[in-house]
Amino acid sequence: MIPVVVLTGFLGAGKTTLLKRLLRDPDYADSAVIINEYGEVPLDHDLLASSEETFVATATGCLCCVVRSDLAATLMDLHRRRAAGEVPAYRRVLIETSGLADPAPILHALMTEQPVLETHRLEAVATLVDALHGPAALERHPEAQRQVRLADRILLTKPDLADAAALRAMLATLNPAAETRDVLHGVVPAAWLLAPAPRTDEWLDATARHSANLGSVIIQREGPLPAMALTLWLQGLAEHLGPKLLRLKGLVCIAEAPKAPAVLHGIGHVMHAPEWLDAWPSADHRSRIVLIGQGIPPYWPLRLLDAIEQEVRSASQRLGNDGVVDRG
Amino acid sequence: MTPPELRALLADSVALWGATARVTLDGEAVRVDAMRVTAATPEDLPIRWWLERPGQRRPCTSVLGLLRSLRNALGGGEAQKLRVV
């Protein structure tokens, strides 16, 4: 599986400067780069002044709008050329989005396109925020906010040009789980930038500590949840939240297998099949689910879960606890 | 689910769909504008909920089915299906 790191950030945040610096750094060698630009002429690609064949520029418009076909096709074409020895055997892919891109559809493509899923793994989302113009972009442009909300790590660029205290507070409110680092002239340690995203339990703990955040809904439950109730609840979230759900992560105690938690990951109406950990990562065995979204009534997800769980438990009791429920 | 719990869920759902509808308690039922939602009796199983509109009584076998019917009735837009990858 080839790891993929998505570099995003609003217009002028310094993505191309960063990429230019990264590509001269031996620590970032063996990276294929996919650049998306908004407009007819792929200018950034030329600015990077590289002759590497593993550069791909897409100029078909904002990547998030055409991402299903373009990104998957581009990744798989590169993969095919790598296998055929037509391009160097790169070990990771960096995707630079256009400044106007909403990263969610890009992550969707990485999560849903079957050939991509079989060959690539989304490692992390890194979002650049300009210390000087970032506050205005975050206030005026929902895309900039979504870029921050979906980040696993945040790179605060041009920190020498402005006092970024207020911006840091804004970033911590929008995304308390993401680690933020100052980045001057594109210097970023590869070990940090290219590392896998934080573990789910760490992410949940960091987010739960800031449960008053706008757009975050935290659900914590003491008892185990029937698998059927969880499945139906996820179906309900997909149906009714859809694109309003930017991200869902959770550690859930399932009634049928309570000794280790199931890890949930989802974006919009797309959910990963639950993964099972070998054991609970800490003494805290409560189920914890965090939903980050926009326009979600804060109690709706829990109310729906309670209603579904009641129905499932009552049906299971009626059927002698076998949990088989026909819900046509 | 008690009628107040059902009213809270339906009121939140209406807000989520961006629909305009008044959600109120009406004894053991919940009114959503001119519609009325009531819990089915155990004898009605597998029906769990009734959604009554003038001249129509629609059965729903789950709370998800109820929300789907209500959303359609309110013109709340097309729902997306869960996709598991």
pLDDT reported for residue A52: 46
> Which residues from chain B sit within 8 angstroms of residue A311, using beta carbons?
48, 62-63
Task: Please compute the mean of the pLDDT values over residues A180-190 and round it to a whole number.
Answer: 88
> Which residues from chain A sit within 8 angstroms of residue B81, using beta carbons?
238-239, 269
Q: A271 vs B84: CB contact, 8 Å cut-off?
A: yes
Compare all CA atoms of chain A with the CA of B71 and give the residue at the minimum distance.
A240
pLDDT reported for residue A74: 84
Which among A302, A324, A311, A313 is positioned nearest to B66, based on CA atoms?
A311
The pLDDT-based confidence of A73 (bands split at 50, 70, 90) is: confident
pLDDT reported for residue A207: 60
| Collapsed DSSP state (helix, strand, coil) of residue B72 | helix
Interface test with A, best of B5, B67, B72, B80 (most A CBs within 10 A): B80
The pLDDT-based confidence of A215 (bands split at 50, 70, 90) is: low
Task: Please compute the mean of the pLDDT values over residues B65-83 and round it to a whole number.
Answer: 85
The more confident residue out of A61 and A132 is A132
Q: Per residue, what are the HEC states of chain A?
A: CEEEEEEEECCCCCHHHHHHHHCCCHHHCCEEEEEECCCCCCHHHHHCCCCCCCEEEECCCCHHHHHHHHHHHHHHHHHHHHHCCCCCCCCEEEEECCCCCCHHHHHHHHHHCHHHHHHEEEEEEEEEEECCCHHHHHHHCHHHHHHHHCCCEEEEECCCCCCCHHHHHHHHHHCCCCEEEEECCCCCCHHHHCCCCCCHHHHHHHHHCCCCCCCEEEEEECCCECHHHHHHHHHHHHHHCHHHEEEEEEEEEECCEEEEEEEEEEECCEECCCEECCCCCCCCCCEEEEEEECCCCCCHHHHHHHHHHHHHHHHHHHCCCCCCCCCC
Distances in Å between the Cα of B54 and the Cα atoms of A241, B35, B65 are 29, 7, 19
The more confident residue out of A20 and A120 is A120
pLDDT reported for residue A25: 81
Identity of the highest mean pLDDT range in A11-15, A176-180, B28-32: B28-32
ipTM of the complex: 0.94
Which residue of B17, B62, B81 is in closest CB contact with A327? B62
- Interface size, chain A vs chain B, as Cβ–Cβ contacts under 8 Å: 90
CB proximity list for A255: less than 8 A, separation 6 or greater: A224, A225, A226, A227
Task: Please compute the mean of the pLDDT values over residues A148-163 and round it to a whole number.
Answer: 90
Contact A155, A188 (CB under 8 A): yes
- The values of phi and psi at residue A129, to 5°, are -130, 130
Q: What is the pLDDT of residues A233-251, one digit of tens each?
A: 999 999 999 878 877 888 8
Task: Please compute the mean of the pLDDT values over residues B64-71 and round it to a whole number.
Answer: 95
Residue B40 DSSP code:
P
Give dist(CA A97, CA A110) in Å, integer: 13
pLDDT reported for residue A16: 77
What rounded mean pLDDT belongs to chain A?
A: 80
AA letter at B26: D
Q: What is the pLDDT of residues B16-57, one digit of tens each?
A: 999 999 999 999 999 999 999 999 998 888 899 999 998 899
Q: Does B4 touch chain A (CB under 8 A)?
A: no
> Which residues from chain B sit within 8 angstroms of residue A324, using beta carbons?
none
Residues of A with CB under 8 A from a CB of B: 111-112, 117, 232, 234-242, 244, 268-273, 295-297, 299-300, 303-304, 306-308, 310-311, 318, 326-328
What rounded mean pLDDT belongs to chain B?
A: 91
Q: What is the pLDDT of residues A145-155, one digit of tens each?
A: 889 988 999 99
The more confident residue out of A99 and A60 is A99
Which residue of B45, B48, B80 is in closest CB contact with A242? B80
pLDDT reported for residue A201: 61
A277, exposed or middle or buried, with CB in 10 Å at 0-12, 13-18, 19+? middle
Distances in Å between the Cα of A192 and the Cα atoms of A5, A155, A181, A188, A204 are 12, 11, 10, 8, 20
User: What is the end-to-end Cα distance of chain A in Å, rounded?
Assistant: 39
The pLDDT-based confidence of A139 (bands split at 50, 70, 90) is: confident
pLDDT reported for residue A200: 65
HSE at residue A168, side-chain half, CA atoms within 13 A, is: 9
Distances in Å between the Cα of A70 and the Cα atoms of A58, A79, A186, A244 are 8, 14, 28, 24
* Alpha-carbon distance B36 to nearest alpha carbon in chain A (angstroms): 18
Task: Please compute the mean of the pLDDT values over residues A101-127 and round it to a whole number.
Answer: 84
